[in-house]
Structure 1
Amino acid sequence: MSASYATHQPERAEIDAAPGVLVLDFGTDWCGYCRAAAPVIGQAIAAHPDARHVKVEDGPGRPLGRSFRVKLWPTVVVLKDGHEVARVVRPADAGAVGEALAMAAA
């Protein structure tokens, strides 16, 4: 089983200042779509060991998800040096997340 979504929200300024490739995975532990996508997301990230993966619990009143305009779960936002490079909403396979990570690595 993959790690739980963190209830502690990093500050947006901390995310914007993060060096390298950062993968923000927005969702909740009780979301069926999130549970189904977790192995797919994990598989894609495992192929990119330089990427840092942060699972962030999202929902009403959660400012980080709102700042990224997250509407559906899971939403995977890939950043490089604090700038959004790609996003994948409800990934069905590792290829979509892998392509997003490849964009950040380029």
Structure 2
Amino acid sequence: MPFAATHLAQPPSRETVDQWLGPTVLEFGTPWCGHCQRAQPLIEQALEDRDDVRHVKVEDGPGQRLGRSFGVKLWPTLVFLRDGRETARLVRPQTAQSIHEAVQGITATTG
């Protein structure tokens, strides 16, 4: 599942997210957030050709339980998960390289 261009109409529950297998990038933000808009090309570049990574764009805001369960305070916040467990987090990423490195961390094979 490559780069997701739009936010989900209905976010998944925390219980569902915790059960996901494999690498996942949860992106918290809003369509109208300037910081989020500026980060989109960076996120897209870092996730290009990464069909092995689930990218889930979650619209966040007051009363949104999933964002609160992850302690999201600023947008965009990228939460990197491997098998439902957080391994890294980037808040307002400034480079595609920083995102790419975090993606490498959730996709690297252990041996």
From 55, 58, 65, give the equivalent of 1:56: 58
Q: 1:8, CA displacement in angstroms?
A: 1.0
% identical equivalent positions: 52
String of CA shifts for 1:34-67, please: whole Å, max 9, x gaps.
Answer: 0000110111011422001000000000000000
Q: Which blocks of at least 5 consecutive residues in structure 1 are unaligned? A: none
Identify which range, 6-15 or 77-86, moves more after superposition. Answer: 6-15
SS in 1 for 2:45: helix
1: CA distance, partners of 2:5 / 2:73: 22
Aligned to 1:76: 78
What does residue range 87-102 of structure 1 map to in structure 2 within 5 Å? 87-102=89-104
String of CA shifts for 1:3-57, please: whole Å, max 9, x gaps.
Answer: 2222411010110000100110000000000000011011101142200100000
TM-score by length of 2: 0.90
1: CA distance, partners of 2:16 / 2:104: 23
**Counterpart amino acid of 1:45?**
L
Q: Which blocks of at least 5 consecutive residues in structure 2 are unaligned? A: none
Q: How many residues align?
A: 105
1: CA distance, partners of 2:36 / 2:20: 25
TM-score by length of 1: 0.94
From 16, 25, 28, give the equivalent of 2:27: 25
Retained in 2: the 8 A contact 1:48–1:101? no
